[in-house]
Amino acid sequence: MSTASIARNPQPVSNSSTNSFDLLILGAGWTYTFLMPQLHHHKISYQATTRDGRRIPGLAKGTVPFTFDPASDDVAPYHTLPSAGIVLIVFPLKGRGQSTRLVEMYNKVHKEEAGRRRWIQLGSTGVWKGEGWLDRHSPVDMSSERAVAEEELLALVGKNACILNLAGLWGGERNPRNWVSRVAKTKADVKGKGALHLVHGEDVARAIVGCLEEWEGVGAGRWIVCDLRTWDWWDLILGWEGGTKDARLGEGSNPEYGKWVLELMEEQEVRALPRGRELLGRCLDGREFWKKVGIVPRRTLLQ
């Protein structure tokens, strides 16, 4: 871990008895299960919050109870939070004012590093709309409340803010095979499915640590974080669902899926899968982020 990139704590352990940490995680949930091993490996001290302050693996003393109330001016909840050089916001901030309130209330209580404190917001690649290739420089959809809050954070703290817009999250209990019956219940639904972009939880965690190590390259930026692949929904559906049921199939499996894909291939003169990019609609180019942090995603196959 580069000392130029992160203000190190004298005791780089997650359950330090001090009240100051390298990283504060606001919202320890699914992402935390993948992030915790990375933080231990890189000896980054951290604390995390949950709504109820429950115990979770990796934090011997439990989490800090905290609920963000965007309408409240009460600083009392922020006094329960430890000081940290970097704050990772896992839960979504929406619309105007929420980013400003969170940053200003936290900095009001923890003044010692307010001017140098860094902020990472986890977002969604859903803020990009349109067809064809899109990258991090493409205009975001400002009708999205999440995009509004993210832009506010970038404007508020400038080079000390980093937005990681994540593709579809998978890993652990999140199995993309189980999504098919939720997103495509009919042949018409399948027909409308084009590209799918994903990122595994392990690579989300590596991306976060990569930001800490290479902040000079990623600060004041919005980034697409994906597995560098564009998946074809038809190809995945055919591979997972096929024509007969077996143990590999996801929840709500339907043998009609394979038949529908074949019919659609005939109707649209698709000779083989995956389809070409020109038929997939919106495709995301996430190369720039991984180049900046100097690593590549590990989990690029659906297993």
- Residue 218 sits in a domain whose CATH number is 3.40.50.720
Domain assignment present for residue 70? The answer is yes
Domain assignment present for residue 150? The answer is yes
The predicted pLDDT at position 19 comes to 80
Section 234-255 average pLDDT: 70
List Cβ neighbours of 142 (8 Å cut-off, separation of 6 or more): 148, 151
Domain assignment present for residue 10? The answer is no
- How many Cβ atoms are within 10 Å of 79's Cβ, its own excluded? 9
Helix (H) or strand (E) holding 290: helix 287-293
- The C-alpha angle 168, 173, 177, rounded to 5 degrees, equals 60
The predicted pLDDT at position 255 comes to 79
Per-position DSSP letters for 55-69, written without gaps between them: --TT-TT-PEE----
Q: Check the CA dihedral 30-31-34-35 and report its sign.
A: negative
Cα–Cα distances (Å) from 241 to 167, 186, 192, 284, in that order, read: 23, 14, 17, 25
Q: What's this model's pTM, rounded to 2 decimal places?
A: 0.91
Cα–Cα distances (Å) from 156 to 33, 61, 178, 236, in that order, read: 30, 33, 39, 41
Are the C-beta atoms of 285 and 224 separated by less than 8 Å?
A: yes
Domain assignment present for residue 62? The answer is yes
Q: Which of 45, 34, 92, 118 is nearest to 298 (CA)?
A: 34
List Cβ neighbours of 82 (8 Å cut-off, separation of 6 or more): 19, 20, 21, 24, 47, 64
Print the domain residue range for 57. 20-172+198-230+282-293
Section 291-302 average pLDDT: 95
Query: What's the whole-number average pLDDT of the chain?
Result: 90
The confidence band for 251, taking pLDDT boundaries of 50, 70 and 90, is: low
Domain assignment present for residue 96? The answer is yes
pLDDT tens sequence across 192-204: 999 999 999 999 9
pLDDT tens sequence across 227-240: 999 999 999 999 98
Place of tokens 């930001």: 211
Domain assignment present for residue 12? The answer is no
Domain assignment present for residue 13? The answer is no
Please state, in angstroms and rounded to a whole number, the distance separating the CA atoms of residues 196 and 74.
42
The predicted pLDDT at position 243 comes to 56
The predicted pLDDT at position 30 comes to 96
How many domains does one find in the chain? 1
Q: Check the CA dihedral 197-198-203-204 and report its sign.
A: positive
Q: How far from chain centre, in Å, is Cα 188?
A: 30
pLDDT tens sequence across 99-142: 999 999 999 999 988 999 999 999 999 999 999 999 999 999 99
The predicted pLDDT at position 61 comes to 75
Domain assignment present for residue 56? The answer is yes
Section 60-67 average pLDDT: 88
